[in-house]
Structure 1
Amino acid sequence: MMFSLFLSATSCSSDVDLGFLELSWLKIVFLGVVQGITELLPISSTAHLRIIPGLLGWKDPGSAFSAAMQLASIAAVISYFWQDLKKLTGATVRAISEQDYSNQYFRLAIGLLIGTIPIAVAGLLLKKSLNGCNSPFRALIVVGISSIVMSLLLGIAERFGKRDRVFNQLSLSDGIWVGISQALALIPGVSRSGSTLTAGLFLGMERETAARFSFLLGLPAVILAGALELHTLFKAGLDVNGWITLIIGLTTASISAFAAIYSLLHYLEKYSTWAFVWYRLAMGIFLVVSVVTGFLPN
């Protein structure tokens, strides 16, 4: 039965899960599209890269693949938010040269950098547990419970958030608090985009502003995590075919990530996040019930 392949032994090297090496390039292209879309929507890319291969009877591509694929969102975020990044960078440089440390954009930029520290520290501490073969963090029951919890939190934030703060009203403290929530995304099923969007709504941000802030805050974390994962894969002795496989996945993921940013921001300008709340709740319940009943192995 196809589900018997779900948690079969993966290719491992130096305790790194290299299951993606057993997938064809066509499957990698498909997973790249999935990664690009789900990485920037509040529905957890890690969860989908864990679930979809199992449902299709494919090998689990592994957490190393999931982490490296996050680099695909960098090009999309930088190109889409180039004006925001240029404004933040220019204001920060001017503030430092003029010693105007009360400048709002300077403080916001510092907040974005400080907000990266929690996930960077937690990621380093949990690296072996997260990336090892058959990591308990990637168990379907963990993904399912995480999805349910985050759907409830997003629903509460949507219901009670004031949504009266726009981007030019954000501050250093926003970067810190949203950054702390971002660290929770190390748990598969939580979603980096979902946790930061939820935190932004709790802090009173408008939906579109919360999503925009979430994307910008994620840049340093994604760059650090992706670079570290590429270094790990290099040390693991990934061959030429393996690197080509990653490049194929990154290329397709980058294209779909840009489409995901455009779609989400325009969607949130007009609609609420309830569609994501119900989707995540349904996905979480399905996974928990499937594991408990034995329909899917944990």
Structure 2
Amino acid sequence: MEATQILILSLVQGITEFLPISSSGHLVLTPLLFGFDLQSLAFDVSVHVGTLAAVMIYFRKEVARMTLAVLSSLRTRRFEDPDARLGWMIVIATIPVVVLGLPLKSVLEMLRQDDALIALVIAGTTIGFGLLLWLADWRGKRTRDEYSLNWRDALFIGGMQAIAIIPGTSRSGITITAGLMLGLNRQATSRFSFLLSIPTIIMAGLLETLDLAQSAAPVDWTALLIGAQFSFLVAYLTIHFFLRFIERISMLPFVLYRFLLGGVILFLVL
């Protein structure tokens, strides 16, 4: 991979993983737009490792508190601690991805065989789920925080997250949308979405690593290292500024971007 390709793809992954605009869709579209060969599975794994490290370090205090509280709740059988409850809600919200991940991954692999088809899918999901995000942000009550979630809420958010395996949907976008539909405020649903990304990215990375281990393709370790480091830096900054400004700017800029991007894709493909 050339340095320009590495940096562009790492920048795209770092920005889009946690914004409600679909990282998988952008990672598929970017090579098509710039004339690059589709990046290797190993590179996709490396930039996901970078974004995983970013969210874990950014929320290190919350992750540590939740982990200790969950372990304590297992020992004492008491679940009143807010951090324990939040940790268990993340566990519950991860279940739908575990159940539906492999079947939907097969659908994704089929779509990737046809550039025109996957471009149309990305256009449709980008626009359709962008509209849903706008409606949820507009109609949502925004009166709850993430600590008020119950197991039904967690399963609903997790079920919506499972759909995000389809490119263009956006994992963060669909989980933020689900949280807004449940009445969470923008910061709360964003924080829960980011925390939920930790087990989700870990599982996706493990699956991709298993696929990579079965492949005989050569590995460009320099490209992987640079991609992981750059995506980590960009993702960390993206999380910081998104959480800082989301209550002021609402979801509308991301919705408009999704409409514009979907329209451009349709114009180029049709």
The two structures have a TM-score, normalised by structure 2, of 0.92
Percent identity of paired positions between Structure 1 and Structure 2 = 37
Q: How does 1:55-66 map to 2 (within 5 A)?
A: 55-61=33-39, 65-66=43-44
Looking at structure 2, the residues matched to 277 and 125 of structure 1 have their Cα atoms a distance apart, in angstroms, of 29
What per-residue deviation string (whole Å, max 9, x for no partner) do you get for residues 122-162 of structure 1? 22123344246943597100000000101100010011000
**Partner secondary structure for residue 212 of structure 1:** helix
One of 116, 124, 128 as aligned partner of 1:145: 124
Q: Is the 8 A contact 1:112 1:176 kept in 2?
A: no
CA distance in 1, matches of 2:84, 2:263: 43
Q: Residue type matched to 1:35 in 2? A: Q
1:205: which partner in 2?
Answer: 184
Say whether 1:35 aligns with 2:13.
Answer: yes
Aligned AA (2:63)? L
Q: What is the Cα deviation at residue 281 of structure 1? A: 0.9
CA distance in 1 between partners of 2:214 and 2:92 (Å): 29
Contact 1:68/1:229, CA 8 A, preserved across alignment: no
Cα pair distance change 1:133/1:194, threshold 3 Å = closer
Measured at CA, do residues 136 and 196 of structure 1 come closer, stay the same or move farther in structure 2, by a change above 3 Å? farther
Task: Describe how 1:1-298 pairs up with structure 2 within 5 A.
Answer: 23-61=1-39, 65-66=43-44, 69-131=47-109, 134-136=112-114, 139-241=118-220, 243-292=221-270
Distance in 2 separating the partners of 1:91 and 1:172: 17
2:210, 2:222 → 1: CA distance?
16
| Offset at residue 65 of structure 1 (A) | 4.3
Alpha-carbon distance change, 273 to 139 in structure 1, aligned in 2, over 3 angstroms: same
Structure 2: distance between partners of 1:199 and 1:258: 23
1-side partners of 2:103 and 2:8: how far apart? 31
Counterparts of 1:133 and 1:63, CA distance in 2: 16
| TM-score, with length taken from structure 1 | 0.83
How large is the RMSD of aligned CA atoms in angstroms? Answer: 2.1
Hey, what's the Cα distance between the residues in 1 that align with 2:145 and 2:92? 21
CA contact (8 A) 1:179 1:196 kept: yes
Residues 63 and 131, structure 1, Cα contact 8 Å, conserved in 2: no
CA distance in 2, matches of 1:34, 1:256: 9
Separation (CA, whole Å) in 2 of partners of 1:254 and 1:33: 9
Q: 1:87 Cα shift?
A: 1.8
Q: Deviations over 1:49-96 (max 9, x none)?
A: 222222222223266744553222211111111121122112212222
1:81–1:233 CA distance, 2 compared to 1 (3 A): same
In the alignment, structure 1 segments of 5+ residues that lack a partner are 1-22, 293-298
Deviation at 1:110, TM superposition (A): 2.0
Query: How many pairs align?
Result: 269
